[in-house]
Amino acid sequence: MSTTPTVTFELPFKAPYDWPRVLRFFAGRATPGVEAVADGAYRRAIEWQGESGTLTVRRHARRRTLVVDVEGPASEHADTLAPHVATMFDVGADPRAIGSHLARDPWLAPLVDAAPGLRVPGAWSAFELVVRAVVGQQVSVKAATTLIGRLVVRAGALIEDHPHPGTAWRFPTPAALAAADLAQIGMPGKRVAALQGLAQAVASGALVIERESSAVELNAASLTAMRAALLALPGIGPWTVEYIAMRAWRDADAWPASDLVLMQSIAARDAACTRAAAQRTRTEPWRPWRAYAAMHLWNEIADRASGARGG
């Protein structure tokens, strides 16, 4: 009989909630050794308020809730962890209001109809997400996942006696990643330099990319300042900044305009919308929910390919 302390709580959501597609999104981008999606659940090793543990999230079979299990010492802080998990899994979204707005557009109406409960999956930390975004520049989602796995082994920490072998690694800390030997890891030298420069900036406190509280929404001024600070770093472009704003900073109107999948999806619908300026004009009516519009367009491609495409 296990003596590991475990706390279980539920996070209510407004239906519909497309749990299978949320899991598909996370599964396609799960960091090897750190995160895993299996048997209808998301799992990862965590550290929260100085305590370690394992987080498992699944959808309740009958109720409109997500069921969260926190194993280990971190379970003592389940009350402060709950808002963070709620934000990560976007349980606060109102899918009917968002879908009603986006469905006014004839391009998006059939996509909303096909996936009315689509969410914008968040991230455990902005640092993890921005590392993945940098690593994933100009490579496929699958290739980025392979590279991230190598980074974890080089700079992460293996958790001894972890009860879940598939999630027995801690993601590298900013300081550890900044100091790691990343030679021959499979990335161009300039990208390695950009990645370690980013890690050093976060480790030193020169760059702040984590939200102070998951329970407090970032205001427009804060989002603008955080975008500018991240964009100022070498190797960080507008796509990366918007992707972080969308998933980590929870800006519902974030729009990664230079994303190749999004650009191709729009151009395929209207040959007059091949240039960036025309695409910006065409997507204006989707405000203030452009992040959800992006998810619908990515999801359309993923549904066709039966895999993780876009984002």
For the stretch 172-192, pLDDT in tens is 999 999 999 999 999 999 999
Residues 135 and 148 in one domain: yes
Exactly one of 251, 259, 270, 303 is catalytic; name it.
Answer: 259
Task: Give the SS3 label for residue 6.
Answer: strand
The span from the CA of 152 to the CA of 143, in Å, is 15
Q: Which residue has the higher pLDDT, 104 or 138?
A: 104
Residue found by looking up tokens 């100009």 in the block: 138
Residues 80 and 229 in one domain: no
Domain that holds residue 297: 101-119+250-305
Asked whether residue 221 is assigned to any structural domain, the reply reads: yes
Q: What is the mean pLDDT of residues 122-140?
A: 93
Q: How many residues does the chain have?
A: 311
Q: Is the confidence at residue 310, as pLDDT, over 80?
A: no
Q: What is the pTM of this model?
A: 0.94
Q: Is the confidence at residue 7, as pLDDT, over 60?
A: yes
Task: State the pLDDT confidence band at 49, using cuts at 50, 70 and 90.
Answer: very high
pLDDT in tens, 77-113: 999 999 999 999 999 999 999 999 999 999 999 999 9
Q: How many CB atoms lie within 10 A of CB 22?
A: 22
pLDDT value at residue 1: 40
Asked whether residue 166 is assigned to any structural domain, the reply reads: no
pLDDT more than 70, % of the chain: 97
The span from the CA of 97 to the CA of 117, in Å, is 11
| Cis amide bond preceding 188, omega within 30 | no
Residues 274 and 230 in one domain: no
Across 128-275, where does the E strand assignment appear?
157-158, 169-170
Q: Which residue has the higher pLDDT, 245 or 212?
A: 245
Residue found by looking up tokens 């879908």 in the block: 99
Residues 21 and 68 in one domain: yes
Residues 131 and 31 in one domain: no
- Reported as type and span, the H/E element at residue 54 is strand 51-59
Residues 13 and 83 in one domain: yes
Residues 189 and 223 in one domain: yes
Q: For the chain, what is the mean pLDDT? A: 94
**Is 113 a known active-site residue?**
no
Q: Which two tokens stand for residue 24?
A: 């598909």
Asked whether residue 167 is assigned to any structural domain, the reply reads: no
Q: What is the mean pLDDT of residues 283-307?
A: 93
The span from the CA of 56 to the CA of 213, in Å, is 21
Task: State the pLDDT confidence band at 269, using cuts at 50, 70 and 90.
Answer: very high
Q: What is the mean pLDDT of residues 57-73?
A: 97
pLDDT value at residue 139: 87
Q: What is the mean pLDDT of residues 31-47?
A: 96
Overall domain count for the chain? 3
Asked whether residue 311 is assigned to any structural domain, the reply reads: no
Task: State the pLDDT confidence band at 140, using cuts at 50, 70 and 90.
Answer: confident
Q: Which two tokens stand for residue 189?
A: 């030298």
Task: State the pLDDT confidence band at 217, using cuts at 50, 70 and 90.
Answer: confident
Task: State the pLDDT confidence band at 165, using cuts at 50, 70 and 90.
Answer: confident
Q: How far is CA 137 from CA 10, 263, 292, 303, in A?
A: 36, 16, 22, 23
